[in-house]
Structure 1
Amino acid sequence: PTTAFFNTDDARLFIITAFGPNGENPVYLSQQLLQSFESGDLRREGRNWVDSIALGTDTYFFPYKYKNNIYNPDITGADGYQYMTEYEMILRLAEQYLIRAEARAKQNKMADGIADIDKVRERAGLPLIADNNPGISQKALLDAILHERQVELFTEYGHRWFDLKRTGKVDEVMTVVTPIKSQGTVQWQSHQQFFPIPQYDIDKAPNLTQTVGY
């Protein structure tokens, strides 16, 4: 089927053209993310999941997981709109391996957790933990899994944000990242990880207490 619910326009959103970052292509990858990839990571190398464009003195790196950024006039959905020919990826096998790796690590089933994360690392062309660090501690393995999720699932459904939230690492990471991304104009404040309650709702239900910090 070719409909808005199955076909994705992620490539059109993410692939930066000669016009540079703009309203249609507002996203480019931070140096912090780029530097998170290990040397030789196939996801980062060879225009697999990351590509770049040089514009003047600037080089912009952008997500390249989806590669078809041209609407196909020969493929029209039932609603009359043209769509891309790529399908949206909702669940991926790599994510399932990483979910299970984390669950096994938390159960102290270290060998099984290592085997799962190594499935993802092997596909990325990286050294295996089972070979280089088979005696890795539980904490170190959980940290490695969190890092692997960062470089595997970037720009997919906010995985990184939710990972930081559920592991209690939001403040640790955002305190460093926010000033860098804002070029020093904004400092991270812990309450920003939560939304404020709209004033309209407070007016309707005065017993509601506004989120701390707002």
Structure 2
Amino acid sequence: MDKQTTTLTDSITKAVLKKMDDKLTPIIEENLFLKNEVEKLNEKVKRLEFGKKENNSILYGFEESNEHINIVEMVSKTLSDSGIEVHKTDINKAFRIGKVKEKARPILINMLNAWKRDEILRNKKKLPKNIYVKEDFSKEVLERRKELIPHLKEERKKGRIAYIKYDKLVVEGEASGMRDKRKRDQSASPKTKNDTENAPTKVNKINAFEKMYRI
């Protein structure tokens, strides 16, 4: 009786588990499908958001007053006077962002062409000391960039050339100073005949200087 009871229990358990698996399998597959679809939609949203902000940049340091001032004219004149040729017709729109407070609010400018926006960013050192420009990133990207800063500092301490590009940390091998020092150290040590004969065969190196880290 005990043997029959055990056999019966095992068969019932297997039958119940099989039915549960049969019912759960389509649910699990549907959940995986929905998860993939959500990820695809998130990527599309990110691309759309990036495209929307592609021509944008944010200017800080422009004084704000109660008088009506044409922001487009003020920005284009300041940039042109600084040696960055920008005409009013190059700017699609310009307006202040953020809540009204004691300090001057930053100005968001949307250029008609991305290359003109890039030209402003490349020449940002020409701007007056009290005015500076930054790229227009989403809140999510700003948080990721903030998280990458400790990694950026760590890589630079190691002597590598590192910088943050959008939401990634790019590391390009060693800094030039470190490479030059290594070359000098190698050239300073004289090579003997035995060293030359026993030297390993030179192998072509793969260009793997660029690494990207995601948070």
Query: What TM-score results when the alignment is normalised by the length of structure 1?
Result: 0.24
Comparing both structures, which one devotes a greater share of its residues to helix? 2
Q: Which has the larger radius of gyration?
A: 2
Comparing both structures, which one devotes a greater share of its residues to strand? 2
